[in-house]
Amino acid sequence: MREIKTTEAVGQVLCHDVTQIIRGVTKDAAFRKGHVISEEDIPVLLSMGKDSVYIWEKDEHMLHENEAAEILCSLCANKYMCSSEVKEGKIEITAERDGLFKVDRKRLNMINGAGEMMIASRHGDFPVKAGDKLAGMRIIPLVIEKKKLEDVKEACGRKPLFELLPFLHKKAGIVTTGNEVYHGRIPDTFTPVIEEKLAEYDVEIIGHEISDDNHERITECIKKLLSAGADMILCTGGMSVDPDDRTPLAIKNTGAEVVTYGAPVLPGAMFLLAYYEKDIPVMGLPGCVMYARRTIFDLVLPRILAGERLSEEDFRVLGEGGLCLSCPVCTFPNCSFGKGA
């Protein structure tokens, strides 16, 4: 490309979009890449502050910003995603369906550390809706060395940086625990909260059992729901360190493998996750899930429903960002809650 005075550019081919910004009116390309500049365009370009423009001169060793954006997009876009047309050197990726958005952070950081190029995405491990914007990408200069992008592409490998995991159809069983509910002393106000949260996803509730604080009876309730075909168990209450809170013991006695009892998240520190027969999640939900708007349950549930098997490490990294600020107007998941390293 070559810089040339705008007043001398009639007949030349623009090698970049020229954006016009009029506050409150427009922010868009007034002239697109490839536009042949005419006499009538000169005063318009000058009014936009363009005393000079770049005209296209083909160089086989360099890539234009639009071509480079297409290459960056090829490293990112995956199944269930669609990409926009390149505009002002930028491409955006959008979700085509609901699902869990996954980011390969290591490779994303590698690309962003290569210089002269960038990819910005929303946080991974969070649910998205069809039509949600997932990422945007471009190079920083107008042109970039072709070899530099080729080297990044080779280092990145064939697997796209992003994934969108569709939510699976799950059959859930709910076990409500507590003498006070079992004996009818108070109404069950926990289960309606769980039902409302599950209704956000493709979850079928196939059974609901109520138990007192007897850990053996809680275990029986869990096994009954498993026998009925539940592929996810939610136990509400009985998760604190009080002597009569026996849900963790009851879950362990089913033979389920406990991944974590406790999480660096508030609300939700007393959360428990176990797996029965390796792949059926059994969760112990602390009382905060009943009264707090967003908790550890909101961070874990989408990942479970996308088919992920969580490990202890998945919980360990939740500490940074694991403090819900209880904002007067909740904007989750478009907030900092759960978005640590």
Average pLDDT in the chain: 92
| Residues 136 and 175 grouped into a single domain | no
308 DSSP 8-state letter = -
| Residues 153 and 174 grouped into a single domain | no
pLDDT of residue 244: 63
Strand-pair category, 81-83 with 99-103: unpaired
Q: Which domain holds residue 265?
A: 170-316
pTM here is 0.84
| Residues 260 and 143 grouped into a single domain | no
CATH number of 109's domain: 3.90.1170.30
DSSP 82-120: EEPPPBTTBEEEEESS-EEEEE-HHHHHHHHTSSSEEEE
Could you read off the pLDDT of 187-225 as tens digits, one per residue? 999 999 999 999 999 899 999 999 999 999 999 999 999
| Residues 196 and 96 grouped into a single domain | no
Whether 7 maps to a domain, the answer reads yes
| Residues 51 and 187 grouped into a single domain | no
Interatomic CA distance for residues 70 and 143, integer angstroms: 13
Could you read off the pLDDT of 173-197 as tens digits, one per residue? 999 999 999 999 999 999 999 999 9
Whether 49 maps to a domain, the answer reads yes
| Residues 211 and 243 grouped into a single domain | yes
pLDDT over threshold 70, residue 167: yes
CATH number of 188's domain: 3.40.980.10
Which phi and psi angles does 285 have, rounded to 5°?
Answer: -100, 120
Count the domains in the chain.
3
Ranking 79-93, 172-186, 230-244, 248-262 by mean pLDDT, the lowest is 230-244
| Residues 228 and 151 grouped into a single domain | no
Whether 338 maps to a domain, the answer reads no
| Residues 30 and 140 grouped into a single domain | no
DSSP 8-20: G-TTPBBSS-EEE
pLDDT of residue 301: 98
| Residues 103 and 129 grouped into a single domain | yes
